Amino acid sequence: MKKTENIVRTPELVERALELQEDQSDISLRSFARELDVSYGTAHRLRHQDLELSVYKIQTSQAMSNQDFTKRLDFGKFMLEQIQSGAIDPGRIIFTGEAHFHLDGYVNKQNYRIWGTEKPSIRTKPLHPQRGTVWRGICEERLLVPIFIEAGKTVDREVYAEILQTAIEETRSKGMIGGLYWQQDGATPHRASENLRTLHETFGRRVIAKGFPSKFNAGCE
């Protein structure tokens, strides 16, 4: 069998495969085999062994403009300068954010495999799976108590305002306000004027958040 494969996959065939691959990089394996007039298995070996190719899935991500890259680079340089000069101690930053947890479990069909002698039973899932959302803040000194978002609610500006109120009360009770920075991501509810104002009234200039510097001429974004 191995000898037959070596005869089939001649240098000329490999060269044709390379030309076809370079001309149509997204061609399916079946079409690849049909164009070369070889079996499906031979086509797979040509791509995998002879051309040393791997299969990659298309991934989508949020588009970024040149201005976005410039802002991120400038922010990185600014933070590095502040940390190196001692103006900002990263251990004094309260990092915050939300996370979603699937209550019905989550199955990654691409990575999950079951080996057995029979096909396993079908696993059903609800049309609208339930999930829970949890907010938490963390810094070098301690963890803030997690805040659980009521099922069915989304973190809009009103819900985030309630989160801020609860979290700020805790930071005050634990003496964590003075000297600490508050960091949050650029989610729309986080950038609501009333929420940024609350942070400014509580932490002053010590806020690392999108929209904060332009609104209060302070902090870092």
- pLDDT for 141 equals 78
195 Cβ contact list (under 8 Å, min separation 6): 157, 160, 161, 164, 189
Residue 149: CA count within 13 A, CB half-sphere: 24
Single out the residue of 191, 214, 193, 216 nearest to residue 203, CA to CA. 216
Q: Which helix (H) or strand (E) holds 68?
A: helix 66-85
- pLDDT for 3 equals 39
User: The tokens 């929209």 sit on which residue?
Assistant: 211
Which residue ranges of the chain lie beneath pLDDT 50? 1-7
pLDDT 10s digits, 179-214: 899 999 989 999 999 999 999 999 998 999 988 988
Q: Which helix (H) or strand (E) holds 207?
A: strand 207-208
Q: Cα–Cα distance between 196 and 161 in angstroms, integer?
A: 10
- pLDDT for 97 equals 94
CB contact burial 207-216 (16+ within 10 A = b; e otherwise): bbbbbbeeee
What's this model's pTM, rounded to 2 decimal places? 0.61
Single out the residue of 157, 172, 217, 153 nearest to residue 182, CA to CA. 172
Q: Cα–Cα distance between 207 and 209 in angstroms, integer?
A: 6
Q: Which helix (H) or strand (E) holds 148?
A: strand 147-149
